[in-house]
């Protein structure tokens, strides 16, 4: 039942917000998201204590063997945690802005949380798919209604492109589902057992279908062209949801569905997939170096990061998967923080043009410190959360293939190049026409920035807790691969 609660609670509140349109939308949605966080914490505590995680099953479409089943184990627990953790922050970032008491905006965000939670919680493949696609709706409306310049075309492209990708997933899932014995079942664990028996050629095709869907979602080179535009045009909270949580659906899908189901498919296509991921890392990083728009720069950096996650996952090692899970968490925290900082700057200066900014540190010490700390997390400095994930990921890719590992490792150089450039051009140097009289961060903004910075450090110093949490789930998964 607790699983049901954490799944539907945000939706219920979100629906109330959407329908009733109360004046205090911000307070309601913030409190709701905090309640959700607390409830999720309890669920995760139970899950860590339970032998095989938590499972909740109710028949859904009984005739077709599709059930409404949810579970929490080490693999998805971390993503559920991420989702529950980040949404309060994302809600809090609207404080004092024109969106704070916009009930529709808050409602859509909460609805989005349910969709994300659902995708991570689902134990049934079609339930996963259901939420995987359903999550597009709230985020589409968030981005399309509140987006910036040229939003219609861009968000529309995003929607059609990603949906197009997920249709491949649908074909693949249906195929695997139909292979299951009896009157069919779409339980993920059942699918593991049946898919693994398929001949190599078919597994290869299915791998492709699944991979394309997830590759578009994440995105992986060369399926990424929707991403920078969408990240740039969407309102910041939507971008945070997209990059902080939603793209993890893709990586999660790789871990949860692709790896254990198509080991033979991996043989045929795995290398191609890893190479594409690694190309994405370098490609994204290089493009980020010359970006003029801060948000766009972060978009490409996110693209590069996710490439590394994908490559690590596809290396099929425990380190890779654990590292990817850890990196998903870290990346979520860091990118939300970084996007928020850009939003803070934009609110005050009405600009994201890197060239027009500068010298902000003279007006806001806290903002600079937060920016530096979050950026360090993003460039994976040791003792920040980014390092743990990146270390494990790079190691797994390196173990998989030495050359690819080194090429992927170039990200730590290029990452520093674009991140430091961003810091320098915005925070340091002389103030410009628009950063003159930059207003220091408000307390509401500090309430978001400081905890995030603390998380960056804590995550880098004490990762054991989370790594131990994911260990059993990942071990179980990896044992399936052998």
Q: Please identify which residue in 95, 268, 293, 359 interacts with another protein, judged by CB under 8 A.
A: 359
Q: Please identify which residue in 1, 51, 63, 181 interacts with another protein, judged by CB under 8 A.
A: 63
Q: Which residues contact 12 (CB under 8 A, 6 or more apart)?
A: none
Q: Please identify which residue in 471, 472, 480, 481 interacts with another protein, judged by CB under 8 A.
A: 471
Instruction: Compose the 388-427 pattern: x for residues touching another protein by CB under 8 A, - for all others.
Output: x--xx-xx--xx-----xx--xx-xx--xx--xx--x--x
Interface of this chain with another protein, residues 64 to 123, rule: CB under 8 A: 64
Which C-beta is closer to another protein: that of 30 or that of 448? 448
Of 230-238, 239-247, 340-348, 468-476, which segment contacts another protein by CB under 8 A? 468-476
Of 44-52, 188-196, 266-274, 376-384, which segment contacts another protein by CB under 8 A? 376-384
Interface of this chain with another protein, residues 236 to 275, rule: CB under 8 A: none
Does 152 contact another protein by CB under 8 A? yes
**Residue 178 CB, nearest distance to another protein (Å)?**
5
Residue 250 in tokens: 């893709």
Does 365 contact another protein by CB under 8 A? yes
Which C-beta is closer to another protein: that of 89 or that of 146? 146
Q: How far is it, in rounded angstroms, from Cα 373 to Cα 382?
A: 12
**Residue 216 CB, nearest distance to another protein (Å)?**
10
**Residue 266 CB, nearest distance to another protein (Å)?**
19
CA 289 to chain centre: 22
Which C-beta is closer to another protein: that of 263 or that of 358? 358
Does 134 contact another protein by CB under 8 A? yes
Interface of this chain with another protein, residues 185 to 204, rule: CB under 8 A: none
Strand pairing report for 66-72 and 54-61: antiparallel
Of 38-46, 231-239, 244-252, 465-473, which segment contacts another protein by CB under 8 A? 465-473
Which C-beta is closer to another protein: that of 33 or that of 426? 426
Q: How far is it, in rounded angstroms, from Cα 70 to Cα 123?
A: 5
Interface of this chain with another protein, residues 290 to 349, rule: CB under 8 A: 290-291, 317-319, 322-323
**Residue 44 CB, nearest distance to another protein (Å)?**
19
Q: Please identify which residue in 222, 272, 355, 479 interacts with another protein, judged by CB under 8 A.
A: 222
**Residue 6 CB, nearest distance to another protein (Å)?**
18
Which C-beta is closer to another protein: that of 244 or that of 280? 280
Can the peptide bond before residue 219 be classed as cis, meaning omega within 30 degrees of 0? yes
Residue from 324, 323, 364 nearest 345 by CA: 364
Q: Please identify which residue in 178, 267, 355, 454 interacts with another protein, judged by CB under 8 A.
A: 178
Q: Please identify which residue in 71, 120, 131, 469 interacts with another protein, judged by CB under 8 A.
A: 131
With CB under 8 A as the rule, give the number of residues binding another protein.
90
Evaluate whether 431 touches 358 at the Cβ level (below 8 Å).
yes
Does 145 contact another protein by CB under 8 A? yes
**Residue 385 CB, nearest distance to another protein (Å)?**
12
Residue from 110, 50, 39 nearest 81 by CA: 39
Does 20 contact another protein by CB under 8 A? no
């Amino acid at each position: 039942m607790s699983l049901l609660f954490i799944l539907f609670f945000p939706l219920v509140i979100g629906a109330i917000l959407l329908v009733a349109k109360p004046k205090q939308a911000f307070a309601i949605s913030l409190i709701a998201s905090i309640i959700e966080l607390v409830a999720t914490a309890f669920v995760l505590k139970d899950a860590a204590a339970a032998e095989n995680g938590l499972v909740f099953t109710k028949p859904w479409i009984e005739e077709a063997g599709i059930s409404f089943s949810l579970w929490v184990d080490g693999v998805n627990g971390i993503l559920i945690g991420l989702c529950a953790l980040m949404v309060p922050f994302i809600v809090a970032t609207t404080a004092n802005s024109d969106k704070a008491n916009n009930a529709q905006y808050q409602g859509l965000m909460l609805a989005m949380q349910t969709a994300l939670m659902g995708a991570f919680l689902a134990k049934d493949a079609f339930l996963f798919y259901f939420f995987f696609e359903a999550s597009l709706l709230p985020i589409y409306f968030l981005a399309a209604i509140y987006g910036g310049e040229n939003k219609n075309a861009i968000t529309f492209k995003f929607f059609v492109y990603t949906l197009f990708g997920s249709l491949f997933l649908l074909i693949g899932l249906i195929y695997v589902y139909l292979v299951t014995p009896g009157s069919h079942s779409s339980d993920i664990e059942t699918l593991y057992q049946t898919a693994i028996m398929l001949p190599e050629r078919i597994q290869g095709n299915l791998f492709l279908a699944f991979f394309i869907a997830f590759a578009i979602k994440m995105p992986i080179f060369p399926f990424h062209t929707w991403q920078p535009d969408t990240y740039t045009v969407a309102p910041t909270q939507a971008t945070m949801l997209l990059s902080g949580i939603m793209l993890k659906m893709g990586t999660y899908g790789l871990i949860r569905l692709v790896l254990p189901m198509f080991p033979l498919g991996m043989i045929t296509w795995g290398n191609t997939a890893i190479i594409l991921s690694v190309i994405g890392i370098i490609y994204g990083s290089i493009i980020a170096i010359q970006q003029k728009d801060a948000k766009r720069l972060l978009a490409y950096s996110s693209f590069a990061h996710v490439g590394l996650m994908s490559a690590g996952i596809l290396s099929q090692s425990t380190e890779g998967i654990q590292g990817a899970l850890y990196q998903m968490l870290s990346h979520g925290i860091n990118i939300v923080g970084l996007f928020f900082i850009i939003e803070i700057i934009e609110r005050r200066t009405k600009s994201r043009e890197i060239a027009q900014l500068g010298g902000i540190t003279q007006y806001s010490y806290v903002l600079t410190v937060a920016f530096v700390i979050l950026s360090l997390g993003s460039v994976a400095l040791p003792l920040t959360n980014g390092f743990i994930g990146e270390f494990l990921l790079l190691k797994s890719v390196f173990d998989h293939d030495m050359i690819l590992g080194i090429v992927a490792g170039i990200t730590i150089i290029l990452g520093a190049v674009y991140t430091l450039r961003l810091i320098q051009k915005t925070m340091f140097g002389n103030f410009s026409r628009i950063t003159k009289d930059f207003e220091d961060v408000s307390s509401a903004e500090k309430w978001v920035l400081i905890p995030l910075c603390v998380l960056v450090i804590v995550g880098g110093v004490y990762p054991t807790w989370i790594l131990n949490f994911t260990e059993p789930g990942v071990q179980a998964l990896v044992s399936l691969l052998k």
